[in-house]
Amino acid sequence: MKLIQKNKITNIPNSDTFDNLFLFPVLQVDYSSSEREVFFMKDLIKQKENTQLLENLWDKYAMFANVYSEKDELEIFKNLFEMALKENKKIHIVWVTLDEEIKILEEYYETLGFMREDINCFKVDFSVPLVTVSVHIENLIWRGSDYKRMWEKIFFLPPIREAGQTKAMFKWINRWVISHIHINNFDEEKKNFFQTCIWEEHILPLNLWKILYYNAKDIWFVWEEKEMIFSLENEK
């Protein structure tokens, strides 16, 4: 079995060095005691709810995403971002869903010198930026086309966006701009999702460890630590 560490993978003593198992430390983050002010997008975008549209969804479940529009979410993000830079204040925004939001963050991180041309990715010390963000696991698991099958079961806030936005969240995870994945309850379903991400190479093991553990420690969030075991080899 292998242990995922900060910038390397090592063999665990007295374990099988030829298996394909990885031990992941995972943080259940508690945002309540951090030097950063934490903003939950779900609370802010709730105030922008299109109540009339919500009451008239009928069987057009995919319209739920428009009840809390991308335009309103982007405006909220920009206001928070500009406030943080103007007041020199460290903030963390939980549950972003839009490619446009992360592109703003990308440009900011470039000005801080975090872009690595040699690997075409960012290498961010997340204790430094005034603005950091996390994406909710539900916005990785689901996409707009799933409304037809799942209906109100995936009526989350902020809502599940169309497939292009879901794909963008994976992109920015792998480019190391999104700092964390917000998970309310790390159950077997979530573990299976991450296992599939490894098998299908949506997220590399070292990247997954950073976004579930190391980056949150850099931001100095309080946490409860757990351990998960993932397999590199798909036995199915």
Per-residue pLDDT at 117: 85
Residue of higher predicted confidence among 220 and 173: 173
Residue of higher predicted confidence among 11 and 160: 160
Q: Residue 48 — pLDDT band, cuts 50, 70, 90?
A: very high
Q: Residue 236 — pLDDT band, cuts 50, 70, 90?
A: low
Average pLDDT of every residue of the chain:
87
Domains of the chain in start order, with CATH, are 1-29+185-236 (no CATH), 35-177 (3.20.20.140)
Q: Are 178 and 121 in contact (CB under 8 A)?
A: no
Q: Residue 143 — pLDDT band, cuts 50, 70, 90?
A: very high
Q: What is the DSSP string of the chain?
A: -EEE-SS-EEEPTTS-TTS-EEEEEEEEEETTS-SSEEEEHHHHHHTT--HHHHHT-TT-GGGHHHHT-HHHHHHHHHHHHHHHHHHT--EEEE----HHHHHHHHHHHHHTT-EETTTTEE---TTS-SEEEEEETHHHH--GGGHHHHGGGG--SSPP--HHHHHHHHHHHHTT-S-EEE-S---HHHHHHHHHHHHTTSS-HHHHHIIIIIHHHHHT-EEEEEEEEEESS---
Per-residue pLDDT at 223: 63
For the segment 34-39, the average pLDDT, to the nearest whole number, is: 87
Q: Are 133 and 92 in contact (CB under 8 A)?
A: yes
Distance CA 120, CA 179 (A): 17
Residue of higher predicted confidence among 48 and 185: 48
Mind listing the pLDDT tens digit for each residue in 113-137? 999 888 788 999 999 999 999 999 9
Per-residue pLDDT at 18: 72
Strands (E), the chain: 2-4, 9-11, 21-30, 37-40, 91-94, 115-116, 121-122, 131-136, 180-182, 222-231
Per-residue pLDDT at 6: 64
Task: List the structure tokens of 78.
Answer: 């920009």
For the segment 18-29, the average pLDDT, to the nearest whole number, is: 74
Task: List the structure tokens of 203.
Answer: 């997220």
Per-residue pLDDT at 46: 95
For the segment 95-100, the average pLDDT, to the nearest whole number, is: 96
Is the pLDDT score of 155 beyond 80? Answer: yes
Distance CA 85, CA 180 (A): 21
Please tell me whether the overall predicted TM-score, pTM, comes out greater than 0.75 for this model: yes
Per-residue pLDDT at 33: 62
